């Protein structure tokens, strides 16, 4: 401080509130006292003022302070605007500049902070009543750090933000915050810029909205914080998945400077790769789920010791890896011996294909295969693979292929190559096989999908009976009938339904399983009833089982009564059920729910069924779920899965369903995840997609309406454009700007991959505003206008008063709002969501379908009502909030556009103009290829988004 007079002092004035306005944080302040009352005179911070009133300050301090002058701040803004123009950043200048200015000011404050103690500080801050208070202040030399803790307030989860300063912890509510400045007791602390951005993100993505949803709380909030390396004390309020198992040992091969061979030890724990020095646990969060990997110290130590013993030089190398010069590695065939030793010890060798200094073998791979025997659902083969005179161990070949490699180290030090044609012929067999010396055991199901080799017949195809193959080939020809539908079935099957019926019988005869994945509305139920009836004509004493969601049990009962009234049916469900009745009663078809099977599996697994049918089979898509484990224990001769969408979210959905139908076809869960699911969903591996399609094709039958039901009445799909009111659009734009800023800061700091959850959450919030601002938390509802609600009510009252209408929404709260509006307008309606009891559900459906029923509106939850409902009385469908999953949308429309419909169907997607909804529709067209691969129509829209797509969505 420099004093000019005894009653006058010159200080620097900090005005933190201006961080949010004109960015002029610092001014000079002259304080004089008149009769004991201080008088403040502000002056602009510039070179003249600093030299006049702070002449003794070192030049570097003055230079640092001058960056806060109005002139320098203006120049900084000009530079940012030029940079924005050159970069064409993809966001508005307002959003871009807000972030860039904050970053630059933060840098200047950090640069100035070491000199802060050389100057006397005052600060001017807003008071409680809108006035301003000027008082002494100071800058702390301590660096605040963010930490987080999850607690419970009653049943509600709560995220507490903790500021750690010099080892002491304080609640964020003990500070006043202006962007990156924290104030407590007249003392200022400067947050790191990353911490500031995190607090801004939390402000925009209020964790309290998930207080009753632990999974969403974890996936959306905690996953983001933990992936940003913050300490989050979960206080054991969330389930933590513990992995306690022996690791798979790996050695990664690489090269340094084209002169040294490097061996890096790694350990794989249930798909998670670790390396480096041992520590007891390795904790991480993946997709919002917490994992604690308990590393096995002895197992890891054993690998370290093994590698250290491979060469004398390794004992002195303590870098977490081992290295040798190429010359040393090739002496006395050292590398060749080590390579085979590692494989013999079941240690994976990774990275061989990346090595550049080894020569390639002149010999082509040769393979001799013979089928030795059949064991249950498997084939045992004798297989010899050789390069020239050298035979290669099957275990080595398998390890190399599973590691994604194509080169095998031979005895002469050259690399033998497994070429593309060989991989197409034998790759699947080797990948899926269990090896014992020169024998390899593979699932017999691979014979069904085997492609012809260059020699002609496939390796495994010979196990399929010639008579069956002949019928299979006949079935693939149009106009030929393989089996007749029993006369007792009270329906004439359409040609494609006849094909589906025959296909299931053919697979039953071959001892396989079948997944009928036809579009909704094409009669999967009728085809299945025809199958069961045929089997009962062959063996009337057989007992068959249908497992369905509880909401569809009565649908099945009605359909059986309609198409096969002679079949004796038992509904095994509810509190009064009797297991003896299901096991020995005079019934031919037992209908039950997934929940009942899970509860009664110990008794039900003792019953031998002829055929088991799983309806909506994606209910068992999680192989670790109790219901999946339960249905796998059921005994049957033939298994059928019915689902319009066997793959709903990702390729892994397919694993448990196919494993139920064809035990062992994909080996272990981890094998399938590594070999197919991750490669397809994460890396879009075209070869893996083709291989998986080829393996599953014989057992999955999917036909679309466009392919097989051209005689259905017309279905017209159109967009109903909705223009928001000024108030609703203003709210939408404000929220969009806020989300866009946080999303792109997130992408800038964390990368696109770690930001997908933030993107998804931002999209969800904007969609809610498009529906109705009343879906937002109360404090964010600045208006209650809903253009969609107004348009829908107008249609229902004026244009469709005498028409049957289905209204779908993904948000149950939105359905409640629409129900309330219907009551206000005197419109009678039915309302179905996930909480609707099965009996009530079928009752409402039947009443809606009745001739003369005057309740014309059916409000339906998209998730609860997109399958199993037959609502052909309706001619109009409104998708209140369309989304990226086109398969689910089509299923909703197919509640009415299905066999039995005689009227033209009109489906309306309600889209708010100039919003994220319109952009999603346009992006869907670009992403259509993703939507049509494999079986599903939804391969993960969000996963496929690029940064440019995200910029477009939030523009």
| Residues 164, 166, 167, 168, CA torsion sign | negative
Q: Are 447 and 460 in contact (CB under 8 A)?
A: yes
Greater confidence (286 vs 225) lies with 225
* Over residues 905-929, mean pLDDT: 76
Q: Which of 110-124, 639-653, 892-906, 926-940 has the least mean pLDDT?
A: 926-940
Measured between alpha carbons, how far is 66 from 714 in angstroms, rounded to an integer? 73
The CATH number covering residue 649 comes to 3.40.50.10810
Q: Which of 117-126, 294-303, 648-657, 944-953 has the least mean pLDDT?
A: 944-953
Measured between alpha carbons, how far is 264 from 349 in angstroms, rounded to an integer? 10
Greater confidence (791 vs 865) lies with 791
Measured between alpha carbons, how far is 634 from 543 in angstroms, rounded to an integer? 13
Domain co-membership, 575 together with 636: yes
Is residue 195 over pLDDT 90?
Answer: yes
For residue range 700-738, what is the model confidence (pLDDT) as tens digits? 998 876 777 666 677 777 778 888 888 999 999 888 888
Residue 792, in any domain of the structure:
yes
The CATH number covering residue 927 comes to 3.40.50.300
Q: Are 73 and 150 in contact (CB under 8 A)?
A: no
* Over residues 156-183, mean pLDDT: 92
Residue 459, in any domain of the structure:
no
What pLDDT score does 943 carry? 59
Q: Are 880 and 908 in contact (CB under 8 A)?
A: no
* Triad 144, 149, 154: Cα angle to 5°: 140
Is residue 443 over pLDDT 50?
Answer: yes
For residue range 658-684, what is the model confidence (pLDDT) as tens digits? 999 999 898 888 888 888 888 887 777
Measured between alpha carbons, how far is 780 from 312 in angstroms, rounded to an integer? 68
* Over residues 400-418, mean pLDDT: 83
Greater confidence (1 vs 17) lies with 17
Q: Which of 88-97, 531-540, 779-788 has the least mean pLDDT?
A: 88-97
Domain co-membership, 90 together with 151: no
What pLDDT score does 307 carry? 93
Is residue 31 over pLDDT 80?
Answer: yes
Domain co-membership, 786 together with 899: yes
Percent of the chain whose pLDDT exceeds 90: 35
Q: Are 28 and 22 in contact (CB under 8 A)?
A: no
Measured between alpha carbons, how far is 12 from 68 in angstroms, rounded to an integer? 11
Confidence of residue 1 (pLDDT cuts 50, 70, 90): very low
Q: Whose structure tokens read 């904007």?
A: 766
Q: Are 181 and 19 in contact (CB under 8 A)?
A: yes
What pLDDT score does 150 carry? 93
DSSP state of 464: S
Give the domain-ending residue among 203, 238, 273.
Answer: 238
Percent of the chain whose pLDDT exceeds 70: 91
Measured between alpha carbons, how far is 466 from 736 in angstroms, rounded to an integer? 64
- The pTM for the full model equals 0.53
Residue 454, in any domain of the structure:
no
Give the domain-ending residue among 115, 139, 163.
Answer: 139
Residue 780, in any domain of the structure:
yes
Q: Whose structure tokens read 């914080």?
A: 225
Domain co-membership, 628 together with 739: no
Q: Are 741 and 95 in contact (CB under 8 A)?
A: yes
For residue range 97-145, what is the model confidence (pLDDT) as tens digits? 888 899 899 999 999 998 988 999 999 888 777 788 888 999 998 999 9
How many domains does one find in the chain?
A: 6
Pick from 799, 808, 809: nearest CA to 774: 809
What pLDDT score does 938 carry? 34
What pLDDT score does 823 carry? 93
Task: Spell out where 208-364 has E strands.
Answer: 232-233, 240-243, 248-256, 260-269, 272-275, 281-286, 289-294, 322-325, 348-350
Residue 197, in any domain of the structure:
yes
Tell me how crowded residue 937 is: count the other CB atoms within 10 A of its CB: 24
What pLDDT score does 931 carry? 38
* Over residues 457-477, mean pLDDT: 84
Q: Are 24 and 36 in contact (CB under 8 A)?
A: no
Confidence of residue 238 (pLDDT cuts 50, 70, 90): confident
Give the domain-ending residue among 422, 449, 476.
Answer: 449
Q: How many CA atoms lie within 13 A of 207 on its CB side?
A: 26
What pLDDT score does 377 carry? 85
Is residue 353 over pLDDT 70?
Answer: no
Greater confidence (887 vs 262) lies with 262
| Residues 892, 897, 900, 901, CA torsion sign | positive
Domain co-membership, 902 together with 755: yes
Domain co-membership, 552 together with 422: no
Domain co-membership, 727 together with 586: no
Is residue 619 over pLDDT 90?
Answer: no
Mean pLDDT score of the chain: 85
Domain co-membership, 877 together with 895: yes
Residue 933, in any domain of the structure:
yes
Residue 520, in any domain of the structure:
yes
Which residues partner with 285 through β-bridges?
290
* Over residues 466-488, mean pLDDT: 88
Greater confidence (458 vs 367) lies with 367
Confidence of residue 927 (pLDDT cuts 50, 70, 90): very low
For residue range 841-873, what is the model confidence (pLDDT) as tens digits? 888 988 998 888 889 999 998 877 666 678 888
For residue range 207-237, what is the model confidence (pLDDT) as tens digits? 988 888 887 788 788 878 877 788 888 887 8
Residue 360, in any domain of the structure:
no
Domain co-membership, 836 together with 720: yes
Confidence of residue 935 (pLDDT cuts 50, 70, 90): very low
Residue 651 token pair: 């390729």
Q: List the domain range (segments joined by +) for residue 318.
A: 243-354
Q: How many CA atoms lie within 13 A of 44 on its CB side?
A: 9
- Angle of helix 594-604 relative to helix 626-633, nearest 10 degrees? 50
Domain co-membership, 347 together with 374: no
* Over residues 286-302, mean pLDDT: 81
What pLDDT score does 289 carry? 67
For residue range 734-764, what is the model confidence (pLDDT) as tens digits? 888 888 887 877 777 777 766 777 788 888 8
Domain co-membership, 425 together with 480: no
Is residue 600 over pLDDT 90?
Answer: yes
Confidence of residue 771 (pLDDT cuts 50, 70, 90): very high
Domain co-membership, 832 together with 868: yes
Measured between alpha carbons, how far is 835 from 865 in angstroms, rounded to an integer? 11
Residue 73 token pair: 């701040």
What pLDDT score does 2 carry? 42
Is residue 538 over pLDDT 90?
Answer: yes
């Amino acid at each position: 401080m420099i004093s000019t007079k005894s009653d006058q002092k010159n200080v620097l004035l900090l005005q933190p509130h201006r961080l949010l306005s004109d960015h002029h944080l610092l001014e000079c302040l002259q304080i004089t006292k008149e009769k004991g009352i201080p008088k403040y005179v502000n002056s602009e911070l510039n070179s003249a003022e600093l030299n006049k009133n702070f002449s003794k300050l070192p030049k570097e301090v003055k230079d640092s302070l001058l960056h806060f002058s109005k002139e320098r701040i203006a120049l900084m803004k000009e530079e940012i605007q030029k940079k924005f123009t050159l970069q064409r950043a993809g966001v508005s200048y307002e959003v871009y500049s807000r972030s860039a200015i904050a970053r630059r000011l933060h840098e200047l404050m950090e640069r100035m902070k070491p000199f802060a103690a050389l100057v006397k500080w005052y600060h001017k801050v807003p008071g409680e009543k809108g006035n301003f208070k000027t008082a002494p202040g100071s800058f702390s030399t301590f660096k605040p750090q963010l930490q987080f803790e999850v607690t419970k307030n009653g049943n509600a989860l709560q995220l507490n933000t903790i500021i750690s300063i010099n080892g002491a912890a304080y609640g964020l509510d003990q500070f006043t915050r202006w962007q990156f400045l924290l104030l407590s007791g007249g003392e200022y602390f400067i947050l790191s810029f990353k911490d500031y951005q995190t607090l801004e993100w939390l402000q925009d993505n209020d964790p309290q909205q998930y207080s009753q949803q632990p999974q969403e709380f974890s996936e959306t909030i905690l996953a983001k914080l933990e992936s940003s390396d913050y300490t989050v004390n979960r206080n054991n309020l969330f389930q933590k998945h513990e992995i306690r198992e022996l690791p798979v040992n790996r050695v990664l091969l690489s090269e340094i400077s084209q002169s040294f061979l490097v061996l890096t030890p790694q350990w794989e724990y249930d798909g998670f790769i670790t390396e480096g020095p041992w520590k007891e646990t390795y904790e991480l969060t993946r997709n919002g789920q917490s994992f604690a990997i308990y590393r096995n110290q002895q197992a890891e130590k054993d690998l370290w010791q093994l590698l250290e013993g491979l060469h004398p030089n390794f004992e002195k190398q303590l870098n977490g890896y081992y290295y040798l010069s190429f010359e040393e590695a090739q002496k006395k065939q050292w590398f060749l011996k080590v390579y085979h030793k590692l494989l013999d010890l079941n240690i994976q060798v990774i990275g061989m294909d990346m090595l550049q200094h080894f020569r390639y073998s002149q010999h082509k791979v040769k393979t001799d295969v013979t089928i030795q025997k059949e064991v249950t659902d498997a084939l045992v083969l004798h297989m010899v693979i050789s390069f020239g005179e050298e035979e290669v161990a099957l275990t080595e070949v398998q390890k190399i292929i599973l590691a994604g490699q194509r080169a095998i180290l031979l005895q002469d030090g050259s690399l033998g190559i497994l070429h593309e044609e060989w991989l197409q012929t034998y790759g699947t067999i080797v990948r899926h096989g269990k090896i014992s010396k020169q024998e390899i055991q593979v699932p017999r199901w691979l014979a069904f999908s085997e492609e012809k080799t260059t020699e002609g017949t496939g390796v495994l195809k010979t196990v399929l009976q010639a008579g069956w193959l002949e019928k299979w080939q006949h079935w693939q020809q149009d106009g030929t009938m393989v089996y007749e539908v029993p006369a007792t079935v009270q329906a004439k099957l359409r040609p494609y339904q006849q094909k589906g019926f025959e296909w299931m019988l053919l697979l039953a005869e071959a001892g396989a399983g079948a997944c009928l994945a036809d579009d909704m509305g094409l009669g999967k139920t009728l085809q299945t009833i025809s199958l069961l009836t045929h089997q009962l004509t062959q063996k009337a004493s057989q007992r068959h089982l249908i497992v369905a969601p509880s909401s569809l049990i009565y649908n099945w009962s009605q359909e059986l009564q309609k198409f096969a009234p002679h079949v004796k049916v038992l509904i095994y469900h509810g509190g009064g059920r009797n297991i003896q009745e299901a096991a020995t009663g005079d019934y031919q078809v037992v209908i039950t729910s997934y929940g009942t099977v899970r509860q009664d599996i110990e008794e039900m697994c003792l019953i031998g069924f002829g055929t088991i049918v799983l309806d909506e089979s994606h209910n068992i898509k999680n192989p670790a779920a109790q219901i999946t484990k339960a249905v796998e224990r059921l005994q049957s001769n033939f298994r059928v899965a019915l689902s319009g969408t066997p793959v709903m979210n990702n390729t892994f959905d397919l694993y448990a369903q196919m494993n139920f139908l064809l035990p062992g076809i994909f080996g272990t869960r981890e094998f399938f995840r590594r070999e197919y699911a991750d490669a397809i969903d994460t890396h879009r591996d075209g070869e893996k997609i083709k291989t998986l399609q080829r393996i599953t094709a014989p057992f999955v039958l999917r036909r679309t309406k466009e392919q097989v039901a051209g005689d259905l009445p017309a279905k017209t799909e159109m967009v109903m454009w909705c223009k928001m009111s000024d108030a609703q659009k203003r709210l939408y734009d404000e929220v969009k700007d806020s989300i866009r800023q946080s999303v792109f800061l997130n992408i800038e700091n964390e990368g696109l991959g770690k930001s997908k959850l933030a993107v998804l959450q931002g999209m969800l919030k904007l969609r809610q505003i498009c529906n109705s601002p009343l879906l937002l938390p109360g404090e964010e509802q600045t208006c209650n206008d809903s253009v969609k609600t107004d348009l829908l009510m107008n249609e229902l009252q004026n244009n469709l008063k005498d028409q049957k209408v289905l209204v779908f929404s993904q948000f149950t709260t939105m359905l409640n709002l629409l129900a309330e509006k219907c009551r206000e307008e005197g419109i009678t309606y039915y309302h179905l969501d996930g909480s609707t009891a099965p009996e009530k559900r079928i009752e409402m459906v039947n009443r809606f379908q009745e001739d003369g029923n005057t309740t014309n509106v059916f409000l339906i939850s998209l998730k609860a009502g997109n399958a199993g409902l037959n609502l052909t009385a309706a001619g109009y469908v409104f998708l209140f909030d369309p989304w990226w999953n086109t398969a689910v949308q089509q299923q909703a429309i197919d509640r009415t556009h299905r066999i039995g419909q005689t009227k033209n169907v009109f489906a309306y997607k309600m889209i708010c103009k100039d919003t994220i909804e319109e952009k999603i529709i346009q992006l869907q067209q670009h992403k259509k290829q993703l939507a049509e691969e494999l079986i599903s129509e939804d391969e993960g829209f969000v996963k496929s988004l690029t940064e440019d797509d995200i910029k477009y969505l939030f523009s």
